[in-house]
Amino acid sequence: MNSQKEKKVSFDDELLILVDEEDRIIGYKDKLSCHQGSGTLHRAFSIFIFNYQGKLLMQQRSEQKQLWPLFWSNSCCSHPRKREKMGTAVSRRLYEELGIRTDLKFIYKFMYQAAYKEIGSENEYCSVFIGKSDQPVHSNINEIAAVKYLDPEELDDLLNQNQDEFTPWFKLEWEQIRTVHWSAIQTYLNT
């Protein structure tokens, strides 16, 4: 049996939740098909985990990823599966990818579409969550190549220097977090 660090947790045939532009469920489709061509709009989530020093846990996506391999991104991102509640999905995936269990707080949701070369696209209605944890990270090697913690200001500088190293959804989310939600996040982190 595979250890948590080696366990496969993502499958091309898992059924994702298709939604309309109001985030209403309109059907289900396998993950591979959802990401082909320009993509099919489906539910997704992004998680930002901060440690108790206020640094953000970043992950470098595994080279096995079909879309944006070896790009840096937020702590964890994935999709709820057919009939899976969002709260269940975010907790499941955070543990599967990073070995972390912590409470998560919903911040906002948005739609975006981004193409990766000629390989495929993300087309997602994405819910963004934050959490706090100083737990040891146990990266799943099938999902993550590397992790590091960054001060928000250091991350801002890195994004200004080289945006090409980061996933498109992360860049959109970080801009929204820093410009719209930062004071509420700081309050949350300080409680």
Q: Which of 34, 77, 96, 122 is catalytic?
A: 77
Nearest of 81, 50, 80 to residue 151 by alpha carbon: 50
Examine the residue annotation and report whether 124 is marked as an active-site residue of this protein: yes
- 8 A C-beta contact, residue 167 and residue 72: yes
Q: Is 126 a catalytic residue?
A: no
For residue 19, what are the CA distances in angstroms to 41, 82, 161? 6, 12, 35
**How much helix, strand and coil, in percent to the nearest 5, is found in the chain?**
25, 35, 40
* CA neighbor of 82 nearest in space, from 13, 150, 146, 133: 13
Query: 3-state class of 76 per DSSP?
Result: strand
Catalytic residue among 96, 97, 124, 143: 124
Q: Which residues are known to be catalytic?
A: 77, 124
